Amino acid sequence: MREWIAVFKRGIAIDNPLTVLMIGLCATLAVSTKVEGALFMGLAVIFVLGMSSVIVSSIRHLVPEKVRIPVFIVIIASFVTIVDLTMKAFVPDVYDFLGVWIPLIVVNCMILGRAEAFSYHNPVRLAVADGLGMGSGFAIVIVVLAFIRELFGSGEIVFLGANLLSLPDGYPAPGILVLFPGAFIVFGFIVALTAWYNRRTTGRTVETSAHCTIEEGGR
Amino acid sequence: METLQHFALLLVGGALVNNILLTRFIGLCPFFGVSGAMETSVGMAGAVVFVMTLATTATWVFWNVLLEPLGVGEFLYIPAFILVIAALVQFVEMYLRKSSPALYRSLGIFLPLITTNCAVLATATESVRPGFFMMGIDYGFGFGEALVYTIGVAIGFGIALISFAALRERLEVAPVPEAMKGIPMAFITAGLLSFGYVGLGGLFGL
């Protein structure tokens, strides 16, 4: 059980897919203009990553090394299709907002990278922990990023039509935070902050890397 | 004339106004991954133009000949497209290795990377799925439109990647605070670069 928790926690902090491993960035920056969209994106990724970890890990002895990548892709694509159709049916507004980003979860290198680097070599129990941990790490960062951008960029947070939080009326909202440059800049500061925190707590510099090859998706 | 203008708008809209990297964040992994060196960026840009054009051609035909007439496009487009693209990239790689070793040497190492690049899948999807496209067009593209739009997007990808690589070469020697060194500073730089693209928004009413 302790091992399970350790694997789960690693995805959230020390090996966070976004701020440390630097995988799956595209969707993060693009959908973080609204907390609502970011939250659903996070949930979609947790679901796809968790479920595909289970399947990949449970069939790992049956799948030959040579055809593993296409097999992973088909597994992931099936779960993404489930999310695609479910969201379209139940939360059409969010679906329209996320648009092309839902099908793009298939090629989100985070999911293929974890299947390749972790689930394919580990028992189901740990693969689930890794999937849920990495998914949660992704969801936390994307929601934080969206929170900063929506609150300070537009002065209020609107969630499913309800106004959750708003700044005082005279607040001059710098719209640039909601536009695309804001995403890069706010995320740059979040990465710097995580690097600083990780160095303080672990006493070592955690190398941030920005690689998206299947071959080197982690350890 | 009307059509010529339409195609020109698609090209400019795809390349600059809706730049795939800096304004829409699609395909960011190679943007940060290979932009460390100028030479690899140029190679990557070339490979993307090549693969993206082929991929959209293949998926457009696949969608319009097979998926759409059979009425299964809605459910099957995600796995179908990704498999078509993956298979296509494999074939291109094999073909290049045999037929044109020089071209293979310059593009070859990037090809497997491109399979999992969301830019290719996104462009292929946008070209056939009405409603995913941002420029106020709510129908699936005709073949010519899809091709011109894809080439525009790929050129935009190349421009952004190469200009960012040039900036990062200068960044190597710039005095940067300890905590911001490397990737964080690269993000801030990309943010500043994308400010330029905010200015292009609304160009020709796109």
Contact B79 A108 (CB under 8 A): no
> What is the pLDDT confidence band of residue A100, given thresholds at 50, 70 and 90?
confident
Extract the tokens encoding B35: 């932009």
Closest residue of chain B to A211, computed from CA coordinates: B33
Domain boundaries, chain B: 2-205
Q: Kindly state whether B23 is in contact with chain A, defined as any CB-CB distance less than 8 angstroms.
A: yes
Distance from CA of B102 to the nearest CA of A (A): 23
Which residues on B lie below 8 Å from A103 (Cβ)?
77-78, 81, 121, 125
Complex confidence, ipTM:
0.76
- For residues A112 and A131, what is the distance between their CA atoms, to the nearest angstrom? 11
Question: Given this model, what pLDDT does residue A52 score?
Answer: 92
Q: Kindly state whether A192 is in contact with chain B, defined as any CB-CB distance less than 8 angstroms.
A: yes
Distance from CA of A89 to the nearest CA of B (A): 13
Distance from CA of B168 to the nearest CA of A (A): 14
What are the CA-CA distances from residue A46 to residues A79, A105, A214, B21, B44 (Å)? 11, 11, 20, 25, 31
Question: Given this model, what pLDDT does residue A217 score?
Answer: 33
Q: Kindly state whether B5 is in contact with chain A, defined as any CB-CB distance less than 8 angstroms.
A: no
Helix or strand holding residue A159 (H, E): strand A156-159
Which residues on A lie below 8 Å from B112 (Cβ)?
213-214
Contact B194 A176 (CB under 8 A): no
- For residues A157 and A147, what is the distance between their CA atoms, to the nearest angstrom? 8
Residues 86-125 of chain B with CB under 8 A from chain A are 86, 112-113, 116-118, 121-122, 125
Residues 137-156 of chain B with CB under 8 A from chain A are none
Question: Given this model, what pLDDT does residue B63 score?
Answer: 86
**CB pairs < 8 Å spanning A and B:** 140
- For residues B188 and A181, what is the distance between their CA atoms, to the nearest angstrom? 9
Of B32, B79, B121, nearest to A210 by CB-CB distance is: B32
Range with the lowest mean pLDDT among A64-78, B123-137, B138-152? B123-137
Which residues on B lie below 8 Å from A88 (Cβ)?
none
Extract the tokens encoding A79: 């779960």
Structure confidence by residue, pLDDT tens digits, B71-112: 777 778 778 888 888 888 888 888 888 887 877 777 666 776
Classify B140 as helix, strand or coil: coil
Of B121, B184, B195, nearest to A191 by CB-CB distance is: B184
Of A180, A192, A213, nearest to B180 by CB-CB distance is: A192
Residue of A57, A112, A116, A122 lying closest to A80 (CA atoms):
A112
Q: Kindly state whether B132 is in contact with chain A, defined as any CB-CB distance less than 8 angstroms.
A: yes
Structure confidence by residue, pLDDT tens digits, B2-52: 678 888 888 888 888 888 888 888 887 778 777 777 877 888 888 888 888
Structure confidence by residue, pLDDT tens digits, A38-82: 999 999 999 999 999 999 999 988 888 878 878 888 899 899 999
Contact A184 B190 (CB under 8 A): yes
Other beta carbons within 10 angstroms of residue B63's beta carbon come to 24
